[in-house]
């Protein structure tokens, strides 16, 4: 990579945390976008130095846009939007619609994500095969990681404000949730 690197963002999606890097050559007009170290967009000799670059991130092809705005003279500001929202707003909303757990199983770091709206479960970028069932106090969604029995229990908190509480159990042991 050249010395034109002007922006680096970490974006947590269901299939993993993606690193987005942006190069902007203000003398050549060059724009290059890398996701997880792989070049996905390259534009050379762009005469318009401000504007937008839109691309997709992750296995769900989440829409991302880098905005290039002139601040003063030859100074520029670079902002990242995910699904039309600022990265900060997107991540705040995301924490409301997903639960994330980080754990180590058999020496392997695992990142388990529950998408509450679809009840899809992801582990290290792979969508898991699940089996759901209704139980006396809520629901249980079962899946397997390596040779470990996993279950996400969903039970009512009893308080309208708190809603439903999701708990990950691995071989019957509760795993603490992570905030990203």
Q: How far apart are CA 82 and CA 105, in angstroms?
A: 31
Q: Which residues pair with 106 in a beta bridge?
A: none
The reported pTM is 0.85
| Residue count (the chain) | 180
Residue percentage of the chain with pLDDT more than 70? 99
125 vs 64, which has greater pLDDT?
64
- For 33, 59, 64, 135, the CA distances from 84, given in Å and listed in that order, are 18, 18, 8, 38
pLDDT of residue 2: 61
Q: Give the tens place of pLDDT for each residue, 104-152.
A: 999 999 999 999 999 999 999 999 999 999 999 899 999 999 899 999 9
pLDDT of residue 8: 98
Kindly report the number of other CB atoms within 10 A of residue 132's CB atom: 12
User: Whose CA is closest to 101, among 64, 128, 131, 139?
Assistant: 128
């Amino acid at each position: 990579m050249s010395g034109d690197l002007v922006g680096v963002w970490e974006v947590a999606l269901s299939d993993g945390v993606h690193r987005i890097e942006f190069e902007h050559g203000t003398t050549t007009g060059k724009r290059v976008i890398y996701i997880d170290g792989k070049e996905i967009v390259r534009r050379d000799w762009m005469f318009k130095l401000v504007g937008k670059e839109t691309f997709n991130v992750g296995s769900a092809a989440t829409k991302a846009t880098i905005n290039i705005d002139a601040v003063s003279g030859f100074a520029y500001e670079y902002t990242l939007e995910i699904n039309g929202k600022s990265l900060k707003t997107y991540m705040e909303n995301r924490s409301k619609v997903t639960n994330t757990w980080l754990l180590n199983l058999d020496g392997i770091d695992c990142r388990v994500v529950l998408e509450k709206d679809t009840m899809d479960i992801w582990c290290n970028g792979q969508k898991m095969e699940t089996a759901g069932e209704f139980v006396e106090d809520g629901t249980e969604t079962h899946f397997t990681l390596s040779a470990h029995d996993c279950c996400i229990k969903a039970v009512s908190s009893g308080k309208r404000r708190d809603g439903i509480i999701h708990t990950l159990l691995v071989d019957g042991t509760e795993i603490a949730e992570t905030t990203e």
